[in-house]
Every structure is written in C-alpha cells, then in structure tokens.
Chain A
Amino acid sequence: AQRVTQPEKLLSVFKGAPVELKCNYSYSGSPELFWYVQYSRQRLQLLLRHISRESIKGFTADLNKGETSFHLKKPFAQEEDSAMYYCALKSLRRGSTLGRLYFGRGTQLTVWP
C-alpha cells in the first residue's frame, strides 16, 4: 500500500543552520515524489519534484530508493523558510496520466532569527 511518512510534526532551527525534513515512503511501483510547501495563509504550492533534480530556494531532495526516502535539505535556513512542508507521492493507475497524490502529515518548520 502507498504511504508517506513524515516523522517530525514540528522542526525548529536557527537562521543559518542546516535543516533536513525527513520523508519516507512505501510504494510498489516506480515512485514519483514531490515536496509541497504552504506558507502562512497561502495555498499549497509545489516546491520541487524528484525527477527534476533541481534546487529551489536553496532546497534539494534526493530520492534514495534503497532507504525509500526523499528527505528535503537546505544548508542554511532562512526566516522566510518558515512554513508547513508536505511530502507527497504520486500514484498512477495503469493507463492513466492523472495520478493521485498521497501526502505525509506535514512538518511545520520554524526558523528563528
């Protein structure tokens, strides 16, 4: 069964410190993973996806199939990074391109000045 686990509900760091938000998944097929971010009073928005292998706002995430993980990292956290972060797994039915997202419960990141 598909599942996304974010073990930390809350994470606090000081500005300039490294941050890692953990995400583990279970999926029988070839996974497609995303990180979504929700800033205070704003909508869910895509931060990055594993297939792009990109860095957005200094964040990176590497898919580790052996450990079934997709942790989000940033070497130097900024106050504006404070937000709720959701890890999501896309599941595709055979023959469909729509897909459905399975979300983790989210990690609230607070970056202190």
Chain B
Amino acid sequence: EPEVTQTPSHQVTQMGQEVILRCVPISNHLYFYWYRQILGQKVEFLVSFYNNEISEKSEIFDDQFSVERPDGSNFTLKIRSTKLEDSAMYFCASSEPGRVSNEQFFGPGTRLTVL
C-alpha cells in the first residue's frame, strides 16, 4: 500500500540555522499539507498546497516558513532561521484531488530539535 514518506526522521539543528524537511506524498495525490505537533500539544495545521501554490496557511506559518514542490515527487518545508519554539514533530500529509471528503494520509513525521 502506498505511503507518505518523510526524511529525515530526526533533525537536530542550532538556533538560527535553516532546515529543510522533506516529504514524498503518495504518487497520485495532488493536495499536500504540513502539520506540526509541539510536545504535549495538539497537532496544528501549518499549510496546504495545490497546483504549485499555497492554498491556505495558518497564523503559525509566518515569513520564516516556506513550502516548495521542487520536482514531481518531493514536497518540502523550509524554516529559514529556526527558533527554539520550532522544536516539534512535523507531519506531511497528502490527499487525492477532486473529492471533498478526501482522506488526508499522514507521513511518519520528522522530529525537529532546535538547540
């Protein structure tokens, strides 16, 4: 069964450094998402992406964040200058186009630790 994959599984970085989290969505999916979960808190929506542009973003997704689909398979989340409070588990998700009740399939997550 096809799955969403994410790399790396764990990323440690210094405050102020740039990080890129990578996701490979399910191949026939065209809707992509990023969520994050700070330890002990809720899973929070960051951004949705379709047709090479952001469809919706939350208040968390400020100018330090960007997303890109650099090729036909990858979907990336970049944090330009990481802060301590960016430490969280980041989940990528994808869904099929066209159906309103389309299920979002989640990746296993990348644990980002900012020191």
A residues apposed to B, CB below 8 Å: 32, 36, 42-46, 49, 51, 86, 92-93, 96-106
| Interface residue? B28 (CB, 8 A) | no
B58 close to A100 (CB less than 8 A):
yes
A86 to B50, alpha carbons, bound, how many Å? 25
| Interface residue? B91 (CB, 8 A) | yes
Query: Which A-chain residue is minimally distant from B96 (CB atoms)?
Result: A97
Cβ-defined partner of A44 (8 Å) among B42, B91, B98 = B91
B33 close to A100 (CB less than 8 A):
yes
Residues of B within 8 A of A103 (CB): 42-44
| Interface residue? B109 (CB, 8 A) | yes
A93 close to B45 (CB less than 8 A):
no
Residues of B within 8 A of A45 (CB): 105-106
B91 close to A101 (CB less than 8 A):
no
Query: Which B-chain residue is minimally distant from A96 (CB atoms)?
Result: B55
B55 close to A98 (CB less than 8 A):
yes
Mask, B64-108, CB within 8 Å of A = 1, is 000000000000000000000000000100010111111111111
> Known interface pairs A98-B31, A103-B43. Does A44 touch B55 (Cβ–Cβ under 8 Å)?
no
Residues of A within 8 A of B58 (CB): 100
